[in-house]
Structure 1
Amino acid sequence: MRLRQVGATALLIECHDSDQVESWRRELWRRRGRGELSVIDIVPGAATVLLDGVAPGAASLVESWASSLEAAPAVEGPLVEVPTVFDGEDLADVADLWQVTVDEAIGRLVTTDFTVSFSGFAPGFGYLRGLPSEWAVPRLAAPRPRVPAGSVALADTYCGIYPSASPGGWRLVGRTALKLFDVRRDAPATLSPGARVKLVPTS
């Protein structure tokens, strides 16, 4: 772990991997909930956690918490079930990459316990980790000009669901009618960091 001041009131924690990012996210949210950390926003990334709006001198305080990360209680996030129709254009290609049948590929996806690692790319787009490294899926050589909203897709070891229609180079394995982002809701994003996600097959 490396801690850097990146602004007058911003700190960046550089982590070894996504597991350490998740450990820091849980610890920082726990500390904030107990009133030990005053911060405007905690933003996890692929290998970083950004603290925005912290008081000057907070770096030494945050650094002192590093030793307590392993001892911090694991708190499970909310479970979001995503009804999914598995008919994506790239599903057969993913099955070939995994050297399994299409049904076996779907079985892998519906039995994987995903967790929202971080958000990005588009409002409401959560990067879901949970696939083992040996199931990593390469992005398309050329991105599609338009991927429909609700598309469930894979890239590298991440799963993602497009909240709105946009260009994209992830491999499409299915689709959902679940609304992923709505600014009119108190919590606009359905999938926020820390949430657990299950893909539930539906017709």
Structure 2
Amino acid sequence: MAAPLSPPRLLPSGDSAITVEFSRNIDDDANRRVLALDRAIAGSPVTGVTETVPTYRSLLVHYDPVQIGFAELGEQLLALAQRPIPSAAKTRRWRIPVVYGGEHGIDLEDVAKALDTTPDDIVARHVAGDYRVAMIGFTPGWSYLSGLAPSLQMPRRQNPRLLTPAGTISIGGVQTGVQCLAGPSGWHLLGQTAVRTYHLHREPTFLLEPGDHITFTPVDAKTFKEQDRAAEAGEFVAELMAS
């Protein structure tokens, strides 16, 4: 018999939201519990719940305090959180093309120097990884991935950049990520992908979902330009692999 799951912490977030916290660290097991609770609420709607927002280690649950109170909702959430985590029936796996280095990955050489190796070795380590989408956030389509090899983990930049390109593939701390839109970042930029994880005029608008698995494959600059035109027209560019 499986050991009972430890109960999460319930933290009030204003007067109309509860944070259900499963861990204080970035942890895949905790993230699986976050996503399992999110699915449980979606499958068996709880009265008064208006929205859920999954993160790495907690689930933010918005509710209408006129319909349900903190204590009553907390009891229901704890009960749902104690359910055994169902095994995923099907896992989506995506292969995402990346052009590494040069103008597309301006930190690649510095990362290689900091880790006492070569840019080619950094690329080889990065594409060897099997990553998992832990959460989507910060800006539309920004996909935070767990599974970064310890040999690639390094502190974020001391001076974040105010603007980094759309499609940036970067590393920071114990994470790697896919940045869809241009925006600020303190991560190290290794490369760039043409894949739009968010595209307002495409169905689906968001390509990746928490729980999806990701691998990266290197492409040259010419291929990137061709893929970028296709992606702008609404093509996925990313390859959906058999699970």
TM-score, normalization by structure 2: 0.72
Identical aligned residues as a percent: 28
Residue 107 of structure 2: aligned partner: 90
Residue 145 of structure 1: aligned partner: 162
In 2, distance between residues paired with 1:132 and 1:50? 29
Residue 41 of structure 1: aligned partner: 51
Residue 34 of structure 2: aligned partner: 25
Amino acid at match of 1:60: E
In 1, distance between residues paired with 2:117 and 2:106? 17
In 2, distance between residues paired with 1:179 and 1:160? 13
In 2, distance between residues paired with 1:129 and 1:105? 17
Distance 1:52 1:20, change over 3 A: farther
Amino acid at match of 2:162: P
Cα offsets for 1:151-172 (capped at 9, x unmatched): 1111111112221222322111
Moved more, 9-18 or 31-40: 31-40
Residue 62 of structure 1: aligned partner: 77
In 2, distance between residues paired with 1:159 and 1:65? 30
In 1, distance between residues paired with 2:12 and 2:185? 33
**What's the offset of the Cα at 1:129?**
1.2
Amino acid at match of 2:79: S
List runs of 5+ in structure 1 lacking aligned partners: none
**What's the offset of the Cα at 1:11?**
2.1
Residue 200 of structure 1: aligned partner: 217
Question: Is the Cα–Cα contact under 8 Å of residues 46 and 117 in structure 1 kept in the other structure?
Answer: yes
Amino acid at match of 2:76: L
Q: Which structure has the bigger radius of gyration? A: 2
Distance 1:95 1:139, change over 3 A: same
Question: Is the Cα–Cα contact under 8 Å of residues 182 and 189 in structure 1 kept in the other structure?
Answer: yes
**What's the offset of the Cα at 1:110?**
0.9
**What's the offset of the Cα at 1:186?**
4.2
In 2, distance between residues paired with 1:40 and 1:168? 31
In 2, distance between residues paired with 1:184 and 1:53? 30
Which of 87, 91, 95 is the matching residue for 1:73? 87
Cα offsets for 1:4-59 (capped at 9, x unmatched): 34355532111213324422233224423543646443312243211223762231
Cα offsets for 1:46-101 (capped at 9, x unmatched): 432112237622311221234434x5324554222211011111112222333333
Amino acid at match of 1:128: L
Moved more, 42-51 or 30-39: 30-39
Question: Is the Cα–Cα contact under 8 Å of residues 5 and 59 in structure 1 kept in the other structure?
Answer: no
Amino acid at match of 2:189: L
- Structural RMSD (CA): 2.5
SS of the aligned residue for 2:13 comes to: strand
SS of the aligned residue for 1:65 comes to: helix
Which of 135, 138, 145 is the matching residue for 1:128? 145
Question: Is the Cα–Cα contact under 8 Å of residues 76 and 194 in structure 1 kept in the other structure?
Answer: no
List runs of 5+ in structure 2 lacking aligned partners: 1-7, 221-243
1:12 aligns with 2:19: yes
